[in-house]
Amino acid sequence: MKRLLLSLLLIASLLFAFACERKGGPGAGGQTGPIIIGYYGDLTGRTSNFGQSTKAGVEMAAAEINKAGGLNGRQITILSEDDEGRPEKAATVVTKLINQDRVVALLGEVASGNTLAAAPIAQAAKVPMISPSSTNPTVTQKGDYISRVCFIDPFQGAVMAKFAVNTLKAKKAAIMLDFNSPYSRGLTEFFEASFKKLGGEIVDKQSYTQGDRDYKGQLTAIRSKNPDVIYVPGYYGEVGVIAKQGKQLDIKAPMLGGDGWDSTQLWDLGGDSLNGDFISNHYSVDDPSPAIQKFVADYKARNGNVPDALAALGYDAMKVLADAIKRAGTTEGPQLKDAINATKGFVGVTGTISLDAERNAVKPAVVLKLQDRKYIYQETIYPEGMTAPAAPAAPATSPAAAAASPK
Amino acid sequence: MDTFVQQLINGLTIGAIYALIALGYTMVYGILRLINFAHGDIYMVGAFVGYFLSYQLGFATGPSLLGLSVVLVASMIAAALVGMAIERFAYRPLRKYARMTTLIAAIGVSLLIENLFVARLGAAPRAFPQLLSEQSYTLFGNAAISKSQILIFAVSVALMLLLQWVIFKTKVGTAMRAVSFNLNSAKLMGINTDFIISFTFALGSALAAAGGVLTAQYNPQIDPLMGILTGLKAFVAAVLGGIGNIPGAVLGGLLIGIAETFVVGYGQNVGIPSTFRDAVAFAILILVLLVRPSGLLGSTVQEKV
């Protein structure tokens, strides 16, 4: 027992020493040599499609910057860590990136639950962190070093509610949520509020947890309430199966989802059952704007597949960070954070990025229809106070739509 | 009423899978008094063998009944070989030691298989190719039964009848029953007990693999850790029915499946959230152990040691 206590004490003091090291250590925030940026994401776990796509986007952006001569004459090095999609692991790898690898800034995560675990660590160490695609509102409330380049769930939930009521003319909605995910719970809350405000009724609310294998119990209960639409704000792994089992139960109502659906594996799991469902997303690969089509083509040449929204957001996050480093002229945390937070009118692949006072990007969302392994553009929904530009953002179909089918 | 029938069908479907796996637990226990904790992982191995075979043999392109039958039988054979290998190399050398030693070896084998798969294939779930067309039939008004559910029922009933025939009508089945009565006496009677034990593992593993491939048609998501919870619930099912008792394992499996689905389907009305589904199986286990330790159909005969 004594020995155990002693060894624990030893480990604790070692950890403490490591934790303190950063402050005075050589190289921290150094102004020469490569700029080291940390990326953390789920590379092997249940949501690994997310992490892999985002990583590919981040790396592509970094490669472009390096090819163009780097930032302030310095090259960028991306250090990636795998958090296996687990919040506790995210906290560990971010601690490692900050204390051992001395990264000047962090990019990550996709799933809000993992970002929420890492954010306080980055905040305490004064290392700026940009989340490419965590949409839960509480993420950036962890502190002024945390920002994001995507819209947030109150908006995303409202978008789907608006689309359901205005376009699909739905009156009754059921919700099937992932009980343990902050992302899913957040979207549920905001969808429910907006849907009710627009005069709709929530007829049933069922929940599952990540890794469940059977959803027919919940789906049968939902079916008995005869909803017009079913809102399923989850991640692709479960959603694909939910869609399949829904069709097996002969449920005709379309399912609605969010950006968590966007992954090629969704189609491997759900197949044709997904046809006719709708999701809200950050961008559409069918958008004819030259910037987007160039990004899609470059990404395909580099990675061999069509970039999903997560790859595009990873790309934008890296570019926003690079822009801030250029403007700040330094990689020191406090100045860099101020430069990031001052980002205004940055033209990215996923739209024009301006960070508001809460360090959230204010951007429109697109609604896509799922059909035969393709995401077909339906409409763009703008946040309150932001109006549509003169030209429509994307047409219903374009040659790129054919290219959108993976493999 | 429609909803009730539908939930019953849903429950019976997962119950049938639990029953298939529970049979393996119960047969091995009946013969060796060993709880083979690696059994749930055999279920996973079966699903993965089916996954790779479908791609290797070119059946992944579209639904085909031929593809499904080939994949099903092949993964049953592969899993049977894996089960026999586990018995031969992990359990047989330990048979002369205390029973606890083999039990711990079983936990070790389980962890070994899981982590080997994670190390080789990664923990990310994969999508099992669809070998059966997506189609549902309606009965009793609004209750739908899908092709994959019909398949699960049909194959599990067929396999259970086959098992019953093997155990009661064949020579090797008679030997199995003899070994389960008393291993040493059976040996004295000239029964090759090593072969019978090996055969029992093969049989149980094949059933679990069938469960793995069948579930994958119902829920195409497979991952190296899928056997843990399902295996545990199947074990609970075996205990519920009376471990060592074959009809008991089937009954237990169906009951656990139905209980779980009803918790999800109706729990909300009485304030039990659907996320409690897994807790229910284990609550049932505790209740059964308290009230009827030998299980629903278990024999109350005192075990001679």
DSSP 3-state assignment of A346? Answer: strand
Higher pLDDT, residue A22 or B29 = B29
In this predicted model, what pLDDT tens digit does every residue of A78-116 receive, in sequence order? 999 999 889 999 999 999 999 999 999 999 899 989 999
Residue A96 within a domain: yes
CA distance A224 to chain B (A): 6
pLDDT, residue A163, reads 93
In this predicted model, what pLDDT tens digit does every residue of B249-274 receive, in sequence order? 999 999 999 999 998 888 877 878 77
Does A5 have pLDDT greater than 80? no
pLDDT, residue A25, reads 40
Residue A117 within a domain: yes
Selecting from A208, A217, A250 the residue whose C-beta is nearest the C-beta of B138 gives: A250
Is residue A27 very low, low, confident or very high in pLDDT (cuts 50, 70, 90)? very low
Same domain (yes/no): A168, A135:
no
Whether A269 contacts chain B with CB within 8 A: yes
Same domain (yes/no): A274, A396:
yes
Residue A358 within a domain: no
Burial of B228 (0-12, 13-18, 19+ CB in 10 A): middle
Residue spans of beta strands (DSSP E) within B77-232: 126-127, 136-139, 143-146, 221-222
Same domain (yes/no): A301, A375:
no
Closest chain A residue to the Cα of B223, Cα to Cα: A46
The answer to whether the CB atoms of A207 and B136 lie below 8 A apart is no
Closest chain B residue to the Cα of A178, Cα to Cα: B275
Q: Region A31-56: what's the mean pLDDT?
A: 88
- Residue B300 tokens, joined: 């109350």
Q: Region B8-33: what's the mean pLDDT?
A: 92
pLDDT, residue A250, reads 87
Same domain (yes/no): A147, A32:
yes
DSSP β-bridge partners for residue A381: A365
Q: Region A263-277: what's the mean pLDDT?
A: 88
Residue A322 CB neighbours (<10 A): 21
In the predicted model, what is the mean pLDDT of chain A? Answer: 85
User: Hey, CA dihedral for B177, B178, B179, B182, is it positive or negative?
Assistant: positive
Same domain (yes/no): A130, A269:
no
Q: Region B284-304: what's the mean pLDDT?
A: 75
Is residue B103 very low, low, confident or very high in pLDDT (cuts 50, 70, 90)? very high
DSSP letter, residue A337: H
The answer to whether the CB atoms of A250 and B136 lie below 8 A apart is yes
Whether A372 contacts chain B with CB within 8 A: no
Same domain (yes/no): A304, A163:
no
Residue found by looking up tokens 């529970």 in the block: B22
pLDDT, residue B27, reads 92
Q: Region A287-293: what's the mean pLDDT?
A: 85
Is residue A123 very low, low, confident or very high in pLDDT (cuts 50, 70, 90)? very high
In chain A, % of residues over pLDDT 90: 49
Whether A245 contacts chain B with CB within 8 A: yes
Q: Which residues of B touch A44 (CB under 8 A)?
A: 122-124
Same domain (yes/no): A172, A248:
yes
pLDDT, residue B274, reads 77
Q: Region B156-178: what's the mean pLDDT?
A: 92
Does A376 have pLDDT greater than 50? yes
pLDDT, residue A95, reads 94
Is residue A395 very low, low, confident or very high in pLDDT (cuts 50, 70, 90)? very low
Whether A226 contacts chain B with CB within 8 A: no
Q: Region B208-236: what's the mean pLDDT?
A: 92
Is residue A23 very low, low, confident or very high in pLDDT (cuts 50, 70, 90)? very low
Does B291 have pLDDT greater than 80? yes
CA distance B199 to chain A (A): 31
Q: How far lies A136's CA from each of A123, A153, A184, B151, in Å? A: 17, 5, 9, 41
Higher pLDDT, residue A330 or A173 = A173
Which of A29-33, A42-46, B31-35, B142-146 is the least confident region? A29-33
Is residue A397 very low, low, confident or very high in pLDDT (cuts 50, 70, 90)? very low
Give chain A's domain count: 2
pTM of the model: 0.81
Is residue A393 very low, low, confident or very high in pLDDT (cuts 50, 70, 90)? very low
Same domain (yes/no): A105, A30:
yes
DSSP 3-state assignment of A146? Answer: strand
Same domain (yes/no): A111, A176:
no
Contacts of A252 (CB under 8 A, 6+ apart): none
> How many residues comprise chain A?
407
- CATH number of the domain that A101 lies in? 3.40.50.2300
Q: Which residues of B touch A48 (CB under 8 A)?
A: 122, 124
Q: Which CATH entry fits the domain spanning B2-291: 1.10.8, 2.40.128, 1.10.10, 1.10.3470? A: 1.10.3470
The two most distant CA atoms of chain A are separated, in Å, by: 74
Does A399 have pLDDT greater than 50? no
The answer to whether the CB atoms of B136 and A273 lie below 8 A apart is no
pLDDT, residue B251, reads 93
Amino acid identity, residue B288? V
Residue pair B217/B151 in contact by the 8 Å Cβ criterion? yes
Chain B residues interacting with chain A (CB cutoff of 8 angstroms): 2-3, 6-7, 10-11, 13-14, 122-127, 130, 134, 136, 138, 142, 144, 146, 148-149, 215, 218-221, 223, 226, 230, 260-266, 268, 273-275, 277
- Give dist(CA A262, CA A366) in Å, integer: 13
Selecting from A208, A220, A224 the residue whose C-beta is nearest the C-beta of B10 gives: A220
Same domain (yes/no): A372, A233:
yes
Q: Which residues of B touch A240 (CB under 8 A)?
A: 127, 220-221
Same domain (yes/no): A187, A258:
yes
Residue pair A375/A406 in contact by the 8 Å Cβ criterion? no
Q: Which domain holds residue A100?
A: 2-151+291-353
Q: Region A211-235: what's the mean pLDDT?
A: 90
Q: Region B298-302: what's the mean pLDDT?
A: 58
Which of A284-293, A334-343, B68-77 is the least confident region? A284-293
Same domain (yes/no): A147, A161:
no
Query: Is this complex scored with an ipTM above 0.85?
Result: no
Q: Which residues of A touch B214 (CB under 8 A)?
A: none
Q: How far lies A393's CA from each of A148, A337, A351, A378, A390, in Å? A: 22, 31, 10, 11, 9
Residue A359 within a domain: no
Is residue A392 very low, low, confident or very high in pLDDT (cuts 50, 70, 90)? very low
